[in-house]
């Protein structure tokens, strides 16, 4: 089910004004109703284009042509003001529980439409933690990125064989894909939240192998864009 519930918290897109990214979030609030109230509160000065409840209800809050206030400070592919070049989707979830099946199914339908409308590929779908690794952790370790990737709605890299554990190469590979310059710890945490949420401890060869796979994907994507 889709409903319209306009939020007053939006503005005009700046710069090129073109949608280039889709940023996924969790609300980190006890209920969808509480999140909706906050996303529509002028005093809060936050919003998103869409909010998806656990039962699969999609709430449209800000028109896709407008600039919602969901991303905050951060960057992707060397550019800031992510709000002006993205669609923001909030998922009602505290961050501590799995994302419900109806909610994931609704997200998949919504993402397919957004990507089609804006001519975007799966590499355009990122986590809030990807673009702001120093300060954000959503949609978190319980979110199923591989499920989206299997449907062409996100990316999942093939690991590069015979990859050594090397911090400099790991950081360079993530930057090539789009991650911002961040501390080594923040980059590793953000990367693992999305691609190896079960991993712990220092950087491993498995991290580097997947990061190298992301670099190859980014090169392919840039060639396609050209």
| 93, 123: one domain | yes
| 94, 176: one domain | no
Name the domain boundary from 132, 156, 180: 156
pLDDT tens, residue by residue, 146-201: 999 999 999 999 999 888 999 999 999 999 999 999 999 999 999 999 999 999 99
Q: What is the CATH number of the domain that holds 113?
A: 3.40.80.10
- The residue from 45, 75, 90, 101 that is catalytic is 90
Find out whether 208 and 172 touch, Cβ atoms under 8 Å.
no
The share of the chain scoring above pLDDT 70, in percent, equals 96
How does DSSP classify residue 76? B
Name the domain boundary from 141, 156, 171: 156
The parent domain of residue 224 ranges over 157-226
| 1, 73: one domain | yes
The yes-or-no answer on residue 79 being catalytic is no
| 133, 210: one domain | no
| 103, 141: one domain | yes
Three-state DSSP class for residue 47: coil
Query: For residue 94, what pLDDT is reported?
Result: 95
| 188, 84: one domain | no
| 90, 122: one domain | yes
| 100, 39: one domain | yes
90: β partners: 25, 51
Total domains in the fold of the chain: 2
Strand pairing report for 67-68 and 58-60: unpaired
| 195, 136: one domain | no
Name the domain boundary from 105, 131, 156: 156
pLDDT tens, residue by residue, 47-102: 999 999 999 999 999 999 999 999 999 999 999 999 999 999 999 999 999 999 99
CA separation, residue 47 to residues 60, 69, 85, 113, 193 (Å):
11, 5, 15, 20, 23
| 141, 171: one domain | no
Task: Give the global pTM.
Answer: 0.94
């Amino acid at each position: 089910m889709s409903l319209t519930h306009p939020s007053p918290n939006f503005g005009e897109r700046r710069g090129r004004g073109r949608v280039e990214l889709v940023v996924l979030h969790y609300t980190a609030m006890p209920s969808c109703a509480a999140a909706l109230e906050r996303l529509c509160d002028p005093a809060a000065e936050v919003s998103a284009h869409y909010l998806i409840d656990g039962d699969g209800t999609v709430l449209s809050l800000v028109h896709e042509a407008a600039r919602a206030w969901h991303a905050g400070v951060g960057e992707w592919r060397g550019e800031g003001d992510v709000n002006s070049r993205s669609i923001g989707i909030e998922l009602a979830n505290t961050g501590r529980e799995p994302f419900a099946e109806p909610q994931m199914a609704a997200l998949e339908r919504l993402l397919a439409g957004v990507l089609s409308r804006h001519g975007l590929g799966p590499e355009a779908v990122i986590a809030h933690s990807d673009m702001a690794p120093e300060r954000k952790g959503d949609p978190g370790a319980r979110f199923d990125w591989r499920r989206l990737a299997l449907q062409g709605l996100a990316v999942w890299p093939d690991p590069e064989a015979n990859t050594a554990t090397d911090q400099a190469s790991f950081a360079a590979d993530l930057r090539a894909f789009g991650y911002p310059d961040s501390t080594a710890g923040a980059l590793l945490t953000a990367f693992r939240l999305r691609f190896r949420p079960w991993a712990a401890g220092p950087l491993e060869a498995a991290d580097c192998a997947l990061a190298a796979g992301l670099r190859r994907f980014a090169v392919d994507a840039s060639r396609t864009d050209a």
